Amino acid sequence: MPRYIYTARNEAGEQVRGALEAAGREKALESLREKSLFPVTLEAEESGAGGLRRRKTRPEDLIMFTRQLAALGKAGLPLLTTLDIIHQQLDNPRWKRGAARLQEDIVAGNSLSQALKKQPEFFSPIYVNFVYAGEQGGVLEEVLDRLADLLVHDLENRRAVKSALAYPKMVLLALAGAVAVIMALVTPKFARIFQATRMELPLPTRLMLGFNRVFQQFWPLLLAAGIALAIVTWFLLKSEKGRLFWDRVKLRLPVFGPLFTRSLLSRFCFVFGVTVESGLPILETLDMAARGVGNRFLEREIAGCQREIGNGRPIAESLAPTGIFPPMVIRMVSIGERSGNLSRMMKELVSHYDLELKYVIAGMTRSMEQVLTAAMALLVLGLALAVFLPMWDMISLAGG
């Protein structure tokens, strides 16, 4: 729904500024009249490629905003005063506009969670739900602190996974680029030399020339096929079934599966522990934890668990059949249920899986370095044999 920025005068003649959402300009004017406001200016807010709606926020900005909101709230300042102070200190123009909108919505009578919900480009559903839980329980500042911790933990885990995947990506791209350059520029020159000799060529050379012929004749088709494959993959991953399939498969990949699994378990346990501390009902807690991980397969399995828990079955017994959670997680959840200290058990699991994630990343990095080094060595050896074996034969014939 379009958002309109207005300047108006109230019944006392005072000028006021604000924003509202309406189905059209006439509806916006009607809404202002209902509020006894007389519009002076009314402009539709831009939401195109350069606008606020289609751009995502950096996690660091969101963490800083959450920390400031919690700190000023603990100091006993009213919410509007807190938002005004944050607005004055913000350097990012997008965040300044977002903070101004929050103030306008709260002045209009919305709660903080309702105001946050109107800006999905900044605040995710799980963020809004956390704030709502804090408002309902009267512990908003404590929940904001936990939420900031969650954002920091999530950011660190994502960076760790991206860092682990960065090296193999760069090496594979470098290998692909090197092969393309060799096939396009180097191999054709040797091919003309070898073909002119009419001698029988060794197997490595014949393979290299065969690959070169395919590359030279069909490279437009190969390029088009690669682009088409990338587009089809992108659309499949955007679909619900495609995303569900990929989220399930990536947990079972031979090399990267343990990395994705540890990251998922760490994030799930962290969100689950924080939401339990926030005092939410257990079914809502599980739902937020599943959605907070961002894995469709886990979300589907948790949905089945929620039905069983709703029927009175213990949490641990409901999670066990999914096959996602290791026995240690099931045992810790069971202990937490019986002792009434589920959040502490989740913290222990987070520490464990964060440590495991570091070990998995270190081990995978070493393994990938060895595998990629071996691949590069084989490629260089193959090219060297393909080029020098026939040259040695030519020298031998010339010497004979």
Spatial separation of the C-alpha atoms in residues 74 and 142, rounded to whole Å: 9
Contact (CB, 8 A) for 88 and 73: no
**pLDDT tens, the chain, 400 aa long:** 556 667 676 766 666 777 777 766 667 777 877 887 766 566 655 443 333 233 456 888 888 999 999 898 888 888 888 888 988 888 888 888 888 889 888 888 889 989 998 888 888 877 887 788 788 777 888 888 888 888 888 888 788 878 777 877 887 788 788 777 777 777 777 777 776 766 677 787 788 778 878 877 887 898 899 899 989 988 888 888 888 899 889 888 887 888 888 888 888 888 888 778 767 778 877 877 777 777 888 888 888 888 888 888 888 888 888 888 889 999 999 998 888 888 889 889 988 888 888 888 888 777 777 887 888 788 878 877 877 777 776 676 665 5
Spatial separation of the C-alpha atoms in residues 284 and 292, rounded to whole Å: 12
Residue with tokens 């390029």: 223
pTM above 0.85, yes or no: no
Cα separations in angstroms, 180 against 158, 185, 230, 255, 375 = 32, 8, 19, 27, 16
Spatial separation of the C-alpha atoms in residues 246 and 238, rounded to whole Å: 11
Cβ neighbours, 10 Å, residue 44: 13
Residue with tokens 């190969």: 222
Give the three-class secondary structure for 10: coil
Contact (CB, 8 A) for 82 and 43: no
List, in order, residues 6 or more apart from 263 with CB less than 8 Å away. 157, 158, 160, 161, 357
Q: Which helix (H) or strand (E) segment is 95 a member of?
A: helix 93-107
Backbone angles phi, psi at 123, to 5 degrees: -120, 120
